[in-house]
Amino acid sequence: MYQAKIDKVACLGTSLGLASFFFLSYLTYRPNRLSSGIGLSIWEAIPNVETGVFLSLLVLMLVLSFIKGSHNGLNALSGLAAGTVIVITFWFAGEAALSMTSPENAIARFSLGAGAWSIAVAAYIVLFASIKQLESRILKLAVSATGPILLLFFISNGSLNELSIAKELLSRKERFVLELYQHISLAGLAVGLGTILGVPLGILAFRIKTAGKFVFFIANTVQTVPSLALFGLMIAPLALLSEAFPLLRQFGIKGIGWTPALIALTLYSLLPIIRNAYTSLNIIDYSIIDAGLGMGMSRQQLLFKVEIPLALPIILSGIRTATVQSIGNTTVAALIGAGGLGIFVFQGLGQAAPDLILLGAIPVIILALSADLIMQGIIIMATPKGISGGQK
């Protein structure tokens, strides 16, 4: 039976959105790309009707956060309202920038202000809290996908083209696609190599305790080294190696570029994969192993037919952690010439251009969130039906 109940997370998110709506700047106007900006409140940036729509949706989200509890319909409505708020945050800002742009101030820039970003984050918190309460996977997918689909529509029809971050993208479109591909390739290859090395090492650590201590010592030590330092440590030995064996340069092995970045990222990905592989095998009930041995199964048969299938969801959880971590760390790899979206981040820092920084940072966040969701889906599918609860 439905009972009205406050959703504290959704209430907190909506309160943040309302505070940002009233007290933070929605748009930032700059006469040119590098000059200081002037903050514009939401009242100054968009028409009264659009402001009313914005405020009405935020109020609706607040009201629903107090009464929706675990009610499917109300949570779906709350999630759709939050997704709509995310969409109109960007859409209204793009329309406002277009209306204020004229041939006389063609070099002027309009950026999303702190208020717009805070409202978008607040709406995402409400969306996340609402989706968690939904029971149907189809309903979860529908509520989750509505916002991104609408946002992609407005991006594709040019509604956001007058925003500064869109101008940065349009002026670097080909380079952006290249670096995005480079980023995904580098992070994906690092996690792939980490999985190939990490899962057997986790099994070794489980089977041979002495070897396990050494494996975890090395993996834990690597994890304590800051990413930038580890990238730097790779440069000298690889440079010396490529000098001693010039043939290696033809295969791209040198002090800077892909090779040191790939090695460092692979090393970083090892710990969560090794740890989860070890833990997943360690927590299997020994009675299951004993039953397999009693049926005449060899240790190898037990490993591949019993232990690994049972351990797979937890192993995949380690790969999921390593994937998200690798996508973030690949950003830093741009500093040693490995390419990737970090190039835009560091160019933006060097030029004091915040929208160029965001051009690199936002896709990294989207990639990490997307990879996390994809891996979560794979884990759910890989979880044996006999294991209750699944993976979250």
Structural domain count, the chain:
2
Q: Looking at the structure, tell me whether residues 208 and 314 fall in a common domain.
A: yes
DSSP string, 41-63: -HHHHS-HHHHHHHHHHHHHHHH
Q: Any bridge partners for residue 109, and if so which?
A: 30
pLDDT at 351: 83
What does each of the 392 residues of the chain score in pLDDT, given as a tens digit? 567 788 899 999 999 999 999 999 999 988 876 677 788 999 999 999 999 999 999 999 999 999 988 888 899 999 999 999 999 999 999 999 888 877 666 677 889 999 999 999 999 999 999 998 888 878 888 888 888 888 888 888 888 888 888 888 988 999 999 999 999 999 999 999 999 999 999 999 998 989 989 999 999 998 888 877 888 887 777 777 777 777 767 666 777 778 888 999 999 999 999 999 999 988 888 888 788 878 888 878 888 888 888 889 999 999 999 999 999 999 998 988 888 999 999 999 888 788 899 999 999 999 998 899 889 888 888 887 766 544 44
pLDDT at 390: 43
Q: Looking at the structure, tell me whether residues 213 and 290 fall in a common domain.
A: yes
Q: Any bridge partners for residue 110, and if so which?
A: 29, 163
Domain span at 51: 8-163
Q: Which ranges of the chain does DSSP label H, i.e. alpha helix?
A: 8-23, 42-45, 48-67, 72-100, 114-133, 137-156, 164-171, 173-207, 209-224, 227-244, 258-282, 286-294, 299-302, 308-329, 342-351, 354-382
What is the CATH number for 343? 1.10.3720.10
Q: Looking at the structure, tell me whether residues 149 and 211 fall in a common domain.
A: no
Q: What are phi and psi of 30, to 5 degrees?
A: -130, 135
What DSSP state is assigned to residue 36?
P
**60 falls within a domain:** yes
* Among 144, 163, 182, residue at a domain's last position: 163
Picking from 366, 371, 361, 374, the residue whose alpha carbon sits closest to that of residue 148 is 366
* Among 136, 163, 190, residue at a domain's last position: 163
Q: Three-class SS of residue 24? A: coil
Q: Looking at the structure, tell me whether residues 197 and 341 fall in a common domain.
A: yes
What DSSP state is assigned to residue 163?
B
Q: Looking at the structure, tell me whether residues 299 and 340 fall in a common domain.
A: yes
**pTM reported for the whole predicted model:** 0.83
pLDDT at 251: 65
